[in-house]
Amino acid sequence: MTPESHLPEWQQKFNQFCENWLYAFLVAMVIRHFCLEAFQIPTASMEPMLYGDAALLKRDQVVVDKLTPRFTGVHRWDVTVFQYPRPEVEEGGDGRPALSADGHRLDVPLLRPLFCRNFVKRAIVLPGDVFYISGGNLYLRQDDGSFACATKPNKVQEAVWLPIYRHQEQEGYLPWSSGVSAQGEALRITTTVSAPAVFTQPLRNLYLKPGPVRVAPLLTSETDVGATVEASLTKPVFSYGGRLGNLWDLDQWRLRRVTTRDLDSGSHGAVMNPLMNEFVTDSRWKFRLTETSGAPALRLDLGNKASCAVTFTHDAWQVTIDNQQVGTGPRASTAEVAFGRCDDVVSLRLDGIEVFRQVVPACDGSLHRPRWSWIGDGAATVTGATLERDLHYTARGFLANEGADKAAVEAGLRAGGLDDLSRDRAADQVFRIGFLREQMRWQEKDRLTAAQRVDRWGISPETAITAPPGCYLLLGDNSPFSLDSRMWGWVPEENLRGRALAVMFPPARWRIIR
């Protein structure tokens, strides 16, 4: 007989019920702490891979593997959840610097403990790496001392390609010069040597979540809220005050997000255009080639510095780089084509099989503006024409000169009139700018000149940075509007929580995270 056998039957069942739930709770806590845990995506910094929004059904909730990284570590390109590395206290559900502008600690044991916010970014620099970031790409030092662009694994690369144009996505939108006409789902391209068909949509580092966008003419005052229109990257044309506009024309229109709380602010609206105005070199075309005559060629020019092209005849292809033939081969009468440049590699895929690949010298699209066109004497008919671009890391934080930002914040502090929260955040920003250069230069702040405390760093082999032991550089995919390591430096290994595996909510967004 058991000790409980003398109890009434109802009490025995109740005790068993409580024991089962207690065991289940303990198992769940063990799993949550050591194995798997769910996290909400708080901001838009990882869009479009992960959506962050204030609304429940508009933000992603992900499941995070906390066990495997304990044994294997975090790998390059992993989407990683971690605790924000700067000390904060909670303020209205958000974070506030734990050190006031007057130098007093604001945290109080038990009563107001340090606030640990969880962030999610992509790990791109690992401990011991020597790196720099230029033209939106990451460069790592090799064993022979040279630097090479870090190429992403194929699964990651396919997941981060971002469509920026699809034929027929927006009715009547045909951003081509003469020589290209729409025939239903097909594009008919007819070119001559003297009259190429140029793709006129600028290849900027533009990202906007599909949905409402606030637009206003660029020359109007920043206080002009403009009009709200429905638009997206592949549906960029809108009507404003009786005239047509285009999201990609950042020289004419000022854009603001209205669908995500961290981007729906006056400060972001003021800087959105400059941050997204960098030009990207990494892009590719995908289409089905259904008909050719003559020898039409699809070409990417990077100013007058570099070019790559693929020429199609009725049964063959030929790749040229800087006007030199570097590859040729047969093709089927119709083929799925993917051709472009990414991570300093030019590649061609036919029906999903890579038939050509060659490393090319680095090139900065902001210095040598990219342009796609169809050239040569010939004609081609393609269907499903889609242009995609790669991740592009914007020059912010230590990658940019923050002297003007620091001077403006210091002027605001001297002017006074700020509430305590605004004053603490402004003082933290001033401190962070100098401390960031101290971290990246491996020098004490007192040894840096005034210019060195705000200037650009980690942008060339001469300014390359060495990652300290146990420290990671984590960046957001939505680079123009990601608060990440460019602004606050290294993330210690002990702050890493795990690797994001999959989106589990909302159901319409279920997906494996790459």
* pLDDT band with cut points at 50, 70 and 90 for residue 6: low
Structure tokens at 287: 């289409």
Pairwise CA distance, residues 12 & 459, whole Å: 70
438 CA to centre of own chain:
26
pLDDT over 80 at 3, yes or no: no
Question: Could you read off the pLDDT of 83-105 as tens digits, one per residue?
Answer: 999 888 888 777 888 888 888 88
The whole-number average pLDDT for the span 277-289 is 95
pLDDT at 268: 67
Mean pLDDT for the chain overall: 89
pLDDT score at 469:
96
Residue of 114 and 130 predicted with greater confidence: 130
Q: What token pair was written down for 295? A: 């020898």
> Is-contact 210 404, C-beta < 8 A?
no
Q: How confident is the model at residue 5 (pLDDT cuts 50, 70, 90)?
A: low
CA 46 to chain centre: 6
Which tens digits make up the pLDDT trace of 57-69? 678 999 998 888 8
23-52 confidence digits (pLDDT tens): 555 554 545 555 678 888 888 899 999 988
Mean of pLDDT values over 95-122: 86
Question: Taking 50 as the threshold, does the pLDDT of residue 497 lie above it?
Answer: yes
As a whole number, mean pLDDT of residues 328-352 equals: 93
- How far apart CA 425 and CA 177 sit, in angstroms, is 49
CA–CA dist 323, 332 (Å, integer): 25
- In the chain, the domains with their CATH numbers are 88-153+396-497 (no CATH), 162-202+281-389 (2.60.120.560), 211-275 (no CATH)
Residue 473 DSSP one-character state: E
Question: Which pLDDT score is estimated for 343?
Answer: 97
pLDDT band for position 372 (cuts 50, 70, 90): very high
**Which region among 219-223, 325-329, 454-458 has the lowest average model confidence (pLDDT)?**
219-223
Is the per-residue pLDDT at 443 higher than 70?
A: yes
Are the C-beta atoms of residues 126 and 446 closer than 8 Å to each other?
A: no
Mean pLDDT of the region 432-453: 90
Task: State residue 7's pLDDT score.
Answer: 61
The yes-or-no verdict on residue 430 having pLDDT over 60 is: yes
Residue 337 confidence class, pLDDT cut points 50, 70, 90: very high
3-state secondary structure 160-206: HCEEEEECCCCCCCCCECCCEEEECCEEEEEEECCECEEECCCCECC
**Peptide bond before residue 48 is cis, with ω within 30 degrees of 0:** yes
More confident residue, 258 or 83: 83
Q: Taking residues 240-267, what's their average pLDDT? A: 82
Report the relative pairing of strands 378-389 and 211-217 from DSSP bridges.
unpaired
Residue 207 clears pLDDT 80, i.e. is over it: yes
Give the model's pLDDT for residue 199: 97
Q: What's the pLDDT at 12?
A: 61
Q: Which residue has the higher pLDDT, 13 or 311?
A: 311
- % of the chain beyond a pLDDT of 90: 58
Q: Considering the entire predicted model, what is its pTM?
A: 0.91
Higher pLDDT, 60 or 14: 60
What percent of the chain stands above pLDDT 70? 90
Q: Give residue 66's pLDDT.
A: 86
